[in-house]
Amino acid sequence: MKKTVLVIIVSFLFLMLSSLVAWVLRFADLKNCWLTWGIAAILLTISIVVALVVRTRPKFSVINLVLNAVAMGFFIRAWYMFRGFDNSFLTMFFVCLACMAYLWVFYAICYIPFVERHFFAFFIGYFIVTGIAYIFVIAFTQTTFVSTFGYYMIIEMGFLIALCFEAQTFSRFLRLLALSTFSIIIVAIIIAVLFVTGEAPDADFDAGFSGASSNADVTSPGDGGKRKPLKDDHVIMD
């Protein structure tokens, strides 16, 4: 199976599960955003223990992916509770599609010969440009889904990093994908800091989309030269 296809499938399922959990939790009797955040932190801790204890079997990588996706859903719900707004599941679905488009754009650009030759610089620059673009989106749009998109993009960046590292077997690559989802730790820290400071950035507004109310280690996935980690960009289904 091609690495990129696997990343697209796994990342989409991950974000959709997170979105579903966040949406379903609107019907739960959760009164405190810190409690919701704490449940997510417990799930994340369990996932970390699983990742540290069992390192080789693919089924445990799947467990990590599921636990982290559910934890992400709880973190997002905690954020919604803190901000006092919500998003419909349809809106969150479109946010997931936007994240998939981000992955496809990255992968397509990697096949440009100039980018292949200067991949590391492009890799860093792409993240910087993404951050700048996100700031402009916040400044010039009024929606309720921008912060959700930002949190999801942190996860997508983790998937991009996994895509660029060498993995010669399916189980190894699946583990890389599972480890990449621990970027939700960054999401958890950001949300916790905002809780503590009592401040919320003006990234979201009640608009029409609201719901119920090092270099040597990184290789280009499109690199046709010596740096390409896998023949024909495939992983071996072991």
Q: How far is 159 from 14, CA to CA, in rounded Å?
A: 11
User: Once rounded to an integer, what is the mean pLDDT over residues 215-235?
Assistant: 47
| pLDDT at site 232 | 41
Q: What pTM did the predictor assign?
A: 0.77
* Percent over 70 (pLDDT), the chain: 76
| pLDDT at site 135 | 66
Burial of 72 from C-beta contacts in 10 A (0-12 / 13-18 / 19+): buried
Q: Are 86 and 80 in contact (CB under 8 A)?
A: yes
| pLDDT at site 162 | 83
| pLDDT at site 129 | 80
- Res 225 pLDDT > 50: no
Confidence bin at 143 (pLDDT 50/70/90):
low
User: Once rounded to an integer, what is the mean pLDDT over residues 77-95?
Assistant: 89
Confidence bin at 226 (pLDDT 50/70/90):
very low
pLDDT per residue as tens digits for the range 168-219: 788 888 888 999 999 999 999 989 998 998 755 544 544 433 344 344 345 5
Q: How far is 43 from 119, CA to CA, in rounded Å?
A: 36
Handedness of CA 96, 100, 101, 102 (dihedral sign): positive
Q: How far is 213 from 202, CA to CA, in rounded Å?
A: 19
Confidence bin at 227 (pLDDT 50/70/90):
very low
User: Once rounded to an integer, what is the mean pLDDT over residues 157-174?
Assistant: 81
